[in-house]
Amino acid sequence: MDLTHDEILEKLSNGEIRLFEIEKYTKTANEAADIRREFIENESGVKLEHISKYSIDMTDTAKKNIENPIGTVQIPVGVVGPLVVNCDDDEDINTYVPMATTEGALLASVNRGCSAIRKAGGCNVSILANQMTRAPVIKTKSTKDAAKLKRWINEHFNEIKKVAETTTSHGKLLKIDPIAIVGRYAYPRFVYDSGDSMGMNMVTIATEKALEFIEGENDIDVIALSGNFCVDKKPAAVNMIEGRGKSVVAEVVIPKEIVEKTLKTTTEEIVEVNYSKNLLGSAIAGSYGYNAHFANMVAALFIATGQDPAHVTEASLGITTAENDDGDLYFSVTLPDLPVATVGGGTRLETASESLNLIGAKGSGKVERFASIVAGIVLAGELSLIGALAAGHLASAHQKLGR
């Protein structure tokens, strides 16, 4: 039943309609968002002038990406590059890359790193793994029963795999490992290949189906579909070791002359800063991020391309290395836990689609290209920041460019 704009506002004020029900009484989701925002403005006394201005269509967005929409938040988007990446199997990459951030100096720094990489002939990127995980927690009668369940899962993997894969045409259950035991609780880590999607919803549904089969064959209780051993959206050693999402390594050899002219420092100074800061400093802090600022580049790319920004928490795990290679600089970044997608989720948003199209990474078959670009940009950002620290330029750059 359609109601007028004013009738809906009146019913909202009287409590006859709840905020999430507005779409039932309007012709379009965009109209519902406008009415919801006006109600919030009336209730709060705050005019949402800029949140109200957007170009995306709320029709699918309200169904798939957000509840109770009232508008959008705008974040500045800039470009860096061109970034040159030499890939394992795909054609080489040479592209400008969009990044969304409010941190002054970030894009200028990454751009300098891209320049150094480009002058060195590009960076090499290898995709080591593609795996998304879900790890439930299961309660058994005793620790002996927990060990028995572990053996049963290993022995019946093929049956479990068949059941899990009935829920998806794309996801493939690769293994259930490790299976951790704590007292009488078991934590089996289901590991899937999720194709071009990030896959969290896919593997959750598949694991739920598999658990129904496991529970039907064993005297157990499934306590929770997620037992925090996945580990989703949290920093964790298991993700550093086992990997999650895409596991990616990027490397470059920067000739001595380029280190000195472009980064304004020396190979020896960069190696020492990386060793003392990223390795020793991170170790004494108990950090899982043996790097300078992976999160900066990952977050800016994730926001621009419609990735889940909460995954920055785990995607910022990783290690930066720097070595003196006969005077030249060998520099690398390892990202073991990069949950990314080129289909589904936020990638369908109009602005995200444009950003992904800009780098040629929109749609099926493009996720490895996208992961390679993320790794290349992280490499560029790390290289530039460590170079700035070695040269003593960090504070002056932020003072000049924004912070």
Distances (CA, A) of 268 to 109, 111, 334: 20, 23, 21
Q: Which residues contact 121 (CB under 8 A, 6 or more apart)?
A: 84, 86
Q: Are strands 318-325 and 289-290 parallel, antiparallel or unpaired?
A: parallel
Q: Clarify whether 103 is annotated catalytic.
A: yes
Distance separating alpha carbons of residues 39 and 45, to the nearest angstrom = 10
Which of 145, 323, 328, 398 does the annotation list as catalytic?
A: 398
Q: Clarify whether 398 is annotated catalytic.
A: yes
Distance separating alpha carbons of residues 1 and 8, to the nearest angstrom = 11
Which of 165, 308, 323, 354 does the annotation list as catalytic?
A: 308
Which of 38, 103, 145, 328 does the annotation list as catalytic?
A: 103
Distance separating alpha carbons of residues 47 and 37, to the nearest angstrom = 9
Token pair of 124 as six digits: 């090499």
Region of residue 322 (left: phi > 0; alpha: psi -120 to 50; beta: else) = beta
CB half-sphere exposure, 109, CA atoms < 13 A: 30
Specify whether the CB–CB gap between 132 and 339 falls below 8 A. Answer: yes
CA angle 296, 197, 103 (to 5 degrees): 15
- CA 68 from centroid of its chain's CA atoms: 24
- Residues taking part in catalysis: 103, 308, 398
